[in-house]
Structures are given as C-alpha cells and as structure tokens.
A = this chain, B = another copy of it.
Amino acid sequence: MTTELDHQVTFLIEIDKLKGIDRRSPLVDRSRLENSAEHSWHAATSAAVLAPYAATGVDLCRVVRMLLVHDIVEIDAGDTFAYDQEGRRSQHEREAAAAARIFGLLPETQSTELTDLWKEFEAMETPDALFANAVDRYLPLLHNYYTEGSTWRGHRVTSDQVMQRMACVEQGAPALWPYVQTLIDDAVQRGYLLAD
C-alpha cells in the first residue's frame, strides 16, 4: 500500500537534484558556480531580511514558500540565463512540463498548492509574487556587484537590460527601488556593467 508519506518522501528525494543544477553566477568568493538549491535558500532568507521593503499587503510566509519552490522546475528544464533570449522562448513550455511531473509526485492537495504557488510566482501579478521576484532579482544584482560584474561582463550585459529586469522591484519592493537604481549607476561607473 502506498501511503501519502511515500509520495512526500519520493518528492523530497527527487528535489535533492536541484543541488546539481548550476546557475550562471559564481558564489561571492568566486570559488565555483552557485547552484539553484542554495540560491533558493539565499532568496528565501533574503525575503525575510528584506521584508521591511515590501509593498503593503505582502504575506511573507507565502513569499518564503514561493521562493523555496520557485526553481524546482529547473531539475528538468535547467536554469535559463536571464539574458538568453533564445532559451527564454522555450522556457515556459519546458518548465510547465517539469512542474507537472515534479509537483505531481506529491499527494494531490499539495501538488496543486505548490503548482499554484509556482504559477503565481511566474505570472508576477500579485503583491506576493512581485515581492518574491524582486528579491529573486535583487540577489543576483548584489552577487554581480560584489564580484565586480562577473556574470554581466562575461555576457556583455548592459545597464538597460538590468534596469528592465529590475522593473518588478519598483512594484514589489518600492522602498528598495532607489537603492537599486543607485547600485546600477555605481556598477556602470566602476566598469562592472556596460552603459547603453
């Protein structure tokens, strides 16, 4: 007889694979690339620390859970680089199939709950999703800044591209927005990021 716990354990063992999915960004000490599991931890922890900058009405508990599961689809779909136009075209389809398979390992109620949280994160419409995305994008900005633009320089990213990607911060974490603009300007000044 398969119990609910069997399904939950299967899911918990399956998501161990997220520790093997590399992102494009290095750790701050530049010793190696960061993986998506440790990034998810950093993002969820950052949400708790940056909660004072969130827009009104944001539910921190939901945001943290959203950030814990937001990258799980990468186990099947891989990490798509933020500035890879080609990869981003097929990203949605690949990730939707991954969500169906991986969250589908769980008992139905939990599967639906986590799938809905992930979809909400992706849609970037609710205050919770906007704040979660703001944190998820602010963190690589810090990583890049503190590694002298390691990922930006390698991919010739421009300040306009970063500004566009950071737009959700203005809605999701309005109190953080002026700092983001200053950091981007400073990164251009220091030569970490290309001016447009």
Show the binding face of A for B, using Cβ within 8 Å. 4-5, 8-9, 11-13, 15-20, 27-29, 31, 34-35, 37-38, 40-42, 44-46, 48-50, 52-53, 60-61, 64-65, 68-69, 106, 110, 139, 142-143, 146, 176, 179
Contacts and interface: CB of A to CB of B under 8 A. Distances in A.
Nearest to A5: B179
Contacts of A142: 9, 12-13
A35 B110 CA distance: 27
B11 A49 contact: yes
Contacts of A53: 5
B13 A146 contact: yes
A68 B40 contact: no
17 contacts: A4-B52, A5-B53, A5-B179, A8-B49, A12-B45, A12-B46, A12-B142, A13-B28, A16-B143, A17-B29, A19-B34, A19-B38, A19-B42, A38-B41, A44-B68, A48-B65, A49-B106
Contact of A27 (B8, B19, B49): B19
Contacts of A42: 12, 15-16, 19, 37
A95 to B, nearest CB: 18
A44 B46 contact: no
A28 B49 contact: no
Nearest to A14: B28
A163 to B, nearest CB: 19
Contacts of A38: 18-19, 35, 37-38, 41
